[in-house]
Amino acid sequence: MRVVFIYPRFEKFLESTPELDRALIDHYIGHFTTPPSLGIPILAALTPPEWEVELVDDNNGDPVDFEIKADLVAISCFTPQATRALELADGYRAAGHKVVMGGFFPSTAPEVALEHCDAVNIGDGEPTWRTILEDARACELKRRYVGGTRFDLKDMPIPRRDIFYEKTGYDWNEDLVQVARGCSYTCGMCAIPTHQGHRVRLRPIEKIVEEIRQLRYDNVYLAEDILFFPGKKLAQWSKELFCALEPLGKKYFVSSTMALATDDALLDSLARAGVNSFYCTLNVDPKSIRALQGDAQVQAELVDLVDRLEGRGIRFFASFGLGRDWDTPALPDTILELCRKAKIRTAEFFIFTPYPGSVHWERLQKQGRILHKNWRHYNGAHVVSRPLGMTEDELYQCFLRIWREFYRPLENREVLETLEPVMTQDHMEERRRSIGLGHQS
Ligand code: B12
């Protein structure tokens, strides 16, 4: 038996923005081709040995052959991949294959997916995957499989990264690791609570460590914001996790918002563990929204946060959402001023996008403000819903202007030389030593 996994193509942020000069932005944000996210490698790890496994990574340019030998075609996608995913599902079915889809988009818009595939998986894949394979073998695929949001992560397998490690073409020298699922907050733009549940499920720390020890790259992307949640139990767990990561000698990329925990003790433990990038989404949480609305005290907190991170050798990587209901065409000026004050050196900017499964999506649907459902353009680089404080074109112009103007000073060579996108190893060691954090191997 043979299952062929498909990871459909999605447009990177600036690929669909020819108006921008790519060279400088590539230098700072980087142009990268990533391997698939973790859904497919997890399912591959759960696939019984009598099934042969193949990965077609359309995002990496693998040729798509609808006549491929397969007993089941399994497509994984999030919303920016959905248009392509549905096209591919149609193509495989037209060639006589059975197609099952799972991931963020099929879980949050199953009725759309089901118009193009034979079966859809909603929620976690671990509880359902082997049943799907058995049903496919017996030619008895059902329309819906509900994996739900309760799977215990102590039983999550180590994802099979060998299925893409052996491929060429990627230039993302980083391994993605999942440490938890679910979220107890309800941020307007995020589909995680719908797809993964409102209860945070933590993965046992020893399992995370076991997985990280097996990774190929020195850089590890820890995928969840819950590392910074302020509750006592979660904060204790994060502290223990960062302690456990310390001896592994890896470098970590973490993500958070300003509203979450950022006390000095936690930042020290990040630095000791080897965290070198702190990706912070702004204009989504109540704190950073206040900072962008001119609250001097919160602005000072941001300035302080950037300083405390960079002082520990951790790059602050800002990600600003544009186009909230209260935003006006003056937003780029406000952001640029805040970045200048806080000495933010690396930033990306995205158009606030309503994803199926999010509160924001439900609200805009009801208000008749969704402009179209060309999912390809739900990648943060297009206006897909009607803004309130400006026209659609004004919002798009804000997006172009902020990218251009944030990076404009960098055309100045002198500035360019002092603003490296990621700190060099030596620079980081020097920073760590200067604040007494010791050597990182
Ligand atoms: C890694 C990541 C990225 C990487 C992608 C790298 C890659 N390898 O492709 C990068 C950094 C490039 C990225 C970019 C973006 N991302 Co992103 N990303 C993630 C992140 C953090 C992890 C994804 C992951 O591996 N999850 C773990 C896997 C195991 O979960 P899963 O896919 O759901 O799989 C499970 C089930 O769904 C199921 N399953 C999955 N597939 C299948 C298939 C079948 C057949 C079956 C049966 C089951 C099944 O089984 C799995 C195990 O239970 C998620 C957040 C998260 N925590 O998931 C956001 C997330 C997917 N990203 C998101 C977004 C919005 C983006 C951006 C558009 C953001 C932006 N700033 O505007 C950009 C797009 C890039 C661009 N335009 O340039 C959203 C997606 C929203 C949505 N509803 O689609 C998420 C959910 C973040 C969020 N909180 O909203 N991202």
> Checking DSSP bridges between strand 52-57 and strand 72-76, what pairing results, if any?
unpaired
Residue 104 Cα to ligand 1 midpoint, Å, equals 7
Q: Is residue 433 over pLDDT 90?
A: no
Any idea what DSSP says for residue 204? P
Within 13 Å, how many C-alpha atoms sit on residue 44's CB side?
A: 24
Give me 369's structure tokens: 């403000």
Give first-to-last CA distance, the chain, whole Å.
Answer: 45
Task: For domain 173-434, give the fold.
Answer: pyruvate-formate lyase- activating enzyme (3.80.30)
Q: Give the Cα separation of 56 and 67 in Å (integer).
A: 13
DSSP lists the bridge partners of residue 201 as 181
Instruction: Give the ranges where 346-412 is alpha helix by DSSP (H).
Output: 359-366, 392-407
Residue nearest to atom 38 of ligand 1 (CA): 125
77-98 pLDDT, tens digit per residue, is 999 999 999 999 999 999 999 9
pLDDT of 12:
81
The average pLDDT across 2-23 equals 85
298-343 pLDDT, tens digit per residue, is 999 999 999 999 999 999 999 999 999 999 999 999 999 999 999 9
Would the CB of 351 count as within 6 Å of ligand 1?
no
- Helix axis angle for 331-342 and 296-310, nearest 10°, is 50
More confident residue, 169 or 63: 63
pLDDT of 418:
43
Q: Are 95 and 118 in contact (CB under 8 A)?
A: no
pLDDT of 166:
87
The average pLDDT across 363-388 equals 97
Q: Is residue 107 over pLDDT 50?
A: yes
pLDDT of 132:
98
Q: Give the Cα separation of 359 and 191 in Å (integer).
A: 8
Q: Is residue 416 over pLDDT 50?
A: no
261-305 pLDDT, tens digit per residue, is 889 999 999 999 999 999 999 999 999 999 999 999 999 999 999
Residue 96 Cα to ligand 1 midpoint, Å, equals 29
Would the CB of 79 count as within 6 Å of ligand 1?
yes
pLDDT of 287:
93
Q: Is residue 368 over pLDDT 70?
A: yes
Residue nearest to atom 63 of ligand 1 (CA): 78
Percent of the chain surpassing pLDDT 70: 90
Domain 2-148 has CATH 1.10.150: no
- Please state the domain extents for the chain: 2-148, 173-434
Residue type, 428: M
Would the CB of 223 count as within 6 Å of ligand 1?
yes
